Amino acid sequence: METTKKYLFSDMGVMLGRSMRHHFRSMDTIITVTIMPIALMLLFVYVLGGAIQTGTDNYVNYLLPGILLITIANSIGYTSFRLFTDVQRGIFERFHSMPIARSAALWGHVLTSLVSNAISVVVVILVALIMGFRSSAGILSWLAVAGMLALFTLALTWIAAIPGLSAKTQDGAIAIAYPIHLLPLISSAFVPTASMPGPVRAFAENQPVTSIVESIRALLSGQPVGNDIWIALAWCVGIMLVAYVFAMRAYKKRV
Amino acid sequence: MPNNSIQVKGLQKSYKKLHVLKGVDFEVEKGCIFALLGSNGAGKTTIVKILTTLLKQDSGTAAVNGFDVAAKPDSVRQSISLTGQFAAVDEILTGRENLIMIARLRHLKNARQVADDLLNRFGLTDAADRGVSTYSGGMRRRLDIAMSLVGKTQLIFLDEPTAGLDPEARIEVWKVVKELANSGTTVFLTTQYLEEAEQLADRIAILHEGRIIANGTLAELKKLFPPAKVEYVEKQPTLEEIFLAIIGKKGEK
Q: B80 vs A97: CB contact, 8 Å cut-off? A: yes
Predicted confidence (pLDDT) per residue in A234-249, tens digit: 999 999 999 999 999 9
Q: Are B242 and B225 in contact (CB under 8 A)?
A: yes
> To 10 degrees, what angle do helices A139-166 and A59-89 make?
30
Residue B192 DSSP code:
S
Residue A21 — pLDDT band, cuts 50, 70, 90? Answer: very high
What pLDDT score was predicted for residue A226?
81
Mean pLDDT of A191-212: 87
Q: How far apart are CA B22 and CA B208, in angstroms?
A: 10
Predicted confidence (pLDDT) per residue in B100-121, tens digit: 999 999 989 899 999 999 999 8
Report chain B's mean pLDDT, rounded to a whole number. Answer: 86
Predicted confidence (pLDDT) per residue in A49-93, tens digit: 777 777 777 888 888 999 999 999 999 989 999 999 988 888 888
B50 touches chain A (CB under 8 A): no
Q: Are B33 and B201 in contact (CB under 8 A)?
A: yes
Q: A202 pLDDT exceeds 50?
A: yes
Would you give the distance in Å from CA B108 to the centre of its chain?
Answer: 25
Residue A7 — pLDDT band, cuts 50, 70, 90? Answer: confident
Q: Name the burial class of residue A197, with classes exposed (0-12), middle (13-18) and buried (19+) by CB atoms within 10 angstroms of its CB.
A: exposed
B91 touches chain A (CB under 8 A): yes
Q: B250 pLDDT exceeds 70?
A: no
CA angle B27, B31, B32 (to 5 degrees): 60
Q: Are B144 and B89 in contact (CB under 8 A)?
A: yes
Q: Testing the interface with A: which of B46, B48, B105 to mutate, by most A Cβ within 10 A?
A: B105
- End-to-end alpha-carbon separation of chain B, Å? 34
Report chain A's mean pLDDT, rounded to a whole number. Answer: 88
The answer for B210, left when phi > 0, alpha when psi is -120 to 50, beta otherwise, is left
Q: How far apart are CA A100 and CA A95, in angstroms?
A: 7
DSSP bridge partners of B6? B28, B64
| φ and ψ of A20, to 5 deg | -65, -35
Q: Name the burial class of residue B18, with classes exposed (0-12), middle (13-18) and buried (19+) by CB atoms within 10 angstroms of its CB.
A: exposed
Q: A100 vs B97: CB contact, 8 Å cut-off? A: no
A254 vs B191, higher pLDDT: B191
DSSP bridge partners of A204? none
Q: Domain residues of chain B, as ranges?
A: 32-55+68-252
Is CATH 3.40.50.300 correct for B32-55+68-252?
yes
DSSP bridge partners of B215? B205
Would you give the distance in Å from CA A179 to the centre of its chain?
Answer: 13
Q: Testing the interface with A: which of B56, B78, B90, B153 to mutate, by most A Cβ within 10 A?
A: B90
Domain limits at A170?
2-254
Q: B232 pLDDT exceeds 80?
A: no
Predicted confidence (pLDDT) per residue in B14-51, tens digit: 888 888 888 889 999 888 999 999 888 888 889 999 99
Q: Are B191 and B47 in contact (CB under 8 A)?
A: no
Give B84's contacts in chain A (Cβ within 8 Å).
90, 93-94
Contacts for A186 with CB less than 8 Å, ≥ 6 apart: A200, A203, A204, A207
Residue B1 — pLDDT band, cuts 50, 70, 90? Answer: very low
What pLDDT score was predicted for residue B249?
63
What pLDDT score was predicted for residue A102?
80
Give me the interface pTM, i.e. the ipTM: 0.83
In the three-class reduction of DSSP (H, G, I as helix; E, B as strand; rest coil), residue B34 is classed as strand
What is the side-by-side strand order in the sheet with B155-159?
A: B80-83, B155-159, B186-191, B33-37, B203-208, B211-216
Q: How far apart are CA B240 and CA A56, in angstroms?
A: 81
User: How many contacts does A have with B, using Cβ atoms within 8 A?
Assistant: 66
DSSP A46-96: IIIGGG---S-S-HHHHHHHHHHHHHHHHHHHHHHHHHHHHHHHTHHHHHH
Give A18's contacts in chain B (Cβ within 8 Å).
90, 93, 101
CA angle B30, B36, B40 (to 5 degrees): 160
Q: A1 pLDDT exceeds 60?
A: no
Residue B5 — pLDDT band, cuts 50, 70, 90? Answer: confident
Classify the C-alpha dihedral B76-B80-B86-B92 as positive or negative. positive
Contacts for A92 with CB less than 8 Å, ≥ 6 apart: A86, A105, A254, A255
Residue A46 DSSP code:
I
